Structure 1
Amino acid sequence: MALFKAPFRTAGFFDPTRDELDNCDLDIQTPEYTREGIQLAPGCMITLAAFVLPETEHFIVDFMAPQKQIALHLRAKLNDRLLAMNSTVAGKWQSEMKVRELPLRKGRAFSMSVLVTTKAFLISYNEEHFAAFPHRMPAESVNSIGIYRGLKLAAVYYEVDYKYSPLRFTISEADSDKAAASSAASIYSAVYPQLPYRMSLEGVDKTGGACLLITMKPDFLAKTLNIAFTRADGQPAVDLELYVNHSQGRVSLHLESKVTKDCSLWSLIGLNRRRHVDICVCCTDTAMRIFICHRPVFQATRDQLQSLWGRVSGLSIAGNADLIVAHFSRRG
C-alpha cells in the first residue's frame, strides 16, 4: 500500500491507478523538489517520471538520512553518459562508483526506479536494470528524498509491495573458513567475501517477469569470471566465461557445452579492471535475455526457454572478484 496519495494526471508513463507522493506539483521544473517522511525497507521502490530539459547537463537524486547523511547520491551526467553514485557519512563523501552507457537523452522523457533490497539499491531506467549500489548504511535510516536540477517532473510515486526474493548463498566446503569470517561481517561493510559461491534455484519461478541480477567487482589481477547456470546433474546448461584481463575484455557463452557466442566487451570490462560488472538474466513470456554491462549478449526463444531455462536448478559464480549483489526478483 502506498503511503502518499495524489491525483495522477500524466498519461503515457505508468498505470494511472498507482499513487504518487502528495507534495509533487505535477509538471514542476526542478532545481529542487524534496519529500520528507519517507520510510524505506526492503521491497520499497520509488519511481519518478520526468522530462530531461534540453539544456540539462546533469541532475541529482538524493536519498537522505538524519544528521546530513546521504545514503544514496545519484548524479546523472548527460554529456558524459554516465551515472555517478556515492554516499556521505558525517558530511564527508565516500568512494564514488561510476556506470557508463547511461540511456538518457536531453529533451526526452524517461522513468527512473530505485528498488531497495536487503543488500543494495537497484537503479533502473525505463524499467530496465542499470546499476546497483550496495548499502553503506541501513536503508531504513532514509527519511527524505531530493531531486535537483534540469528536470521537468511528471510524477513521483512510492511502492511498498514490490515482490522480490533474495537468493540464499551456499558456499562450498573449501571456502568454509572464508565464509565463517565473512558471515560475521555487517552487510553494510565495503569488504565483500571472495568467490566461489553456489546457490540453489530449485523451486524458483523462472517464467515471465523474472530477473536474476549479479554484480561483481573483479580483483585487480583477475583474468576470468565464470557464471554457470547448472542442471540437476550439476552440468552447466548456460556457461558464461568473462575474460576481464586488460588485453582481452570479451565474453564467451557456452550453451550446454557448445560455444554459441563469443563477443568483445573490451570497451566495458577490459579497459578498467576495477570497474563493476553487471550480469542480468531477464525472462519474459516469450524469451530469455542475458545482458552483460547493459549490453545484450544472448537471447533464447520460447522453445529454447522451455528446454533450457526450465531445467536450470542452480547457479555457480567463480573467479577473483568481490560479489556485491546476487538476487532474484519478479513482478506480480
Structure 2
Amino acid sequence: MAARDPESKCVIKFPDGVYCGSKVRLQGNIPPNAQRFSINLQCGPRTDFQEQVALHVNPRFNDMNVVRNHYAGGEWGREENSGGMPLSKDADFKTVIECNEQAFTVSFNGKHFCEFAHRMPYHRVTHVMVDGDVSLRLVSFPSTE
C-alpha cells in the first residue's frame, strides 16, 4: 500500500484487537525527499483525527527525531522525542510495535528504539493508520506464539 502522498493514508484493523503481547510489523521504503510520516495506533478507523490515538510515532527528518505522543479529547499530550533518528531517507525500514502491560515498545530495523507508557487503555485500540512520506510493502500482525 503506497502512502507517499501526504493525503494518502493506510488504515488497517487489528484482527484480534490489542492486548499484552500483540504486535504490528510494518515494512516499507522511505523516499529520498521524505519530510515526515506517522504511525498511529488509534481507537477507530477515521483518518481525520476524530479518533483517540493511543500511540503516535512520527519520524521527522527535518528535525532528525521521532516524536511520540497520544491524542485524546481533541488535544495532543506531552511530546516525547529523545533518541535521535534511527531511520534514513531513500532506504528500506522495518518497524515493530509491541504492547506490554506498561507500555508500547517500538523497534526500528531490529533494534529497540523506545517505550511509550500507556496514557489510555491499550485494549481500546482497534486500528493502525500510516500516512505521510512513506511507501508500505507489508503490514502484519504476528502472533505471540
Pick the aligned partner of 2:65 from 82, 91, 104: 82
User: Cα deviation per residue 1:35-64 (whole Å; 9 max; x = unaligned)?
Assistant: 135411011110101100111111011111
Q: Which residue of 1 aligns with 2:95?
A: 112
What are the within-5 Å matches in structure 2 for residues 271-310 of structure 1?
Answer: none
Q: Which residue of 1 aligns with 2:23?
A: 45
Q: Report deviation, 1:87.
A: 0.5
For normalisation by structure 2, the TM-score amounts to: 0.87
Query: How high is the sequence identity, in percent, across the aligned residues?
Result: 24
Pick the aligned partner of 2:112 from 120, 123, 129: 129
Structure 1 unaligned regions, length at least 5: 1-24, 163-332
1:100 paired to 2:83: yes
Q: Which residue of 2 aligns with 1:57?
A: 35
Bigger proportion of residues as helix: 1
User: Cα deviation per residue 1:74-115 (whole Å; 9 max; x = unaligned)?
Assistant: 110112221101111212111111123211111000101101
In 1, are the aligned partners of 2:14 and 2:141 still within 8 Å (CA)? no
Structure 1's consecutive aligned runs of 4 or more residues displaced over 6 angstroms after TM superposition are none
Letter in 2 for 1:122: T
For normalisation by structure 1, the TM-score amounts to: 0.39
User: Cα deviation per residue 1:234-284 (whole Å; 9 max; x = unaligned)?
Assistant: xxxxxxxxxxxxxxxxxxxxxxxxxxxxxxxxxxxxxxxxxxxxxxxxxxx
Letter in 2 for 1:35: I
Q: Which has the higher contact order (CA 8 A, sep 6+)?
A: 2
Letter in 1 for 2:75: K
1:35 paired to 2:9: no
- Structure 2 residue matching 1:100: 3-state secondary structure: coil
Give distance in 1, aligned partners of 2:129 and 2:79: 19
Bigger shift: residues 36-45 or 69-78 = 36-45
- Judging changes above 3 Å, is the alpha-carbon distance between structure 1 residues 37 and 103 closer, same or farther for their aligned structure 2 residues? closer
Query: How many residue pairs align between the two structures?
Result: 136
> What is the root-mean-square deviation in Å for CA atoms of aligned residues?
1.5
Bigger proportion of residues as strand: 2
What are the within-5 Å matches in structure 2 for residues 1-332 of structure 1?
Answer: 25=1, 28-30=2-4, 31-38=8-15, 39-66=17-44, 68-161=51-144
Give distance in 1, aligned partners of 2:66 and 2:124: 23
User: Cα deviation per residue 1:200-240 (whole Å; 9 max; x = unaligned)?
Assistant: xxxxxxxxxxxxxxxxxxxxxxxxxxxxxxxxxxxxxxxxx
Give distance in 2, aligned partners of 1:129 and 1:63: 18
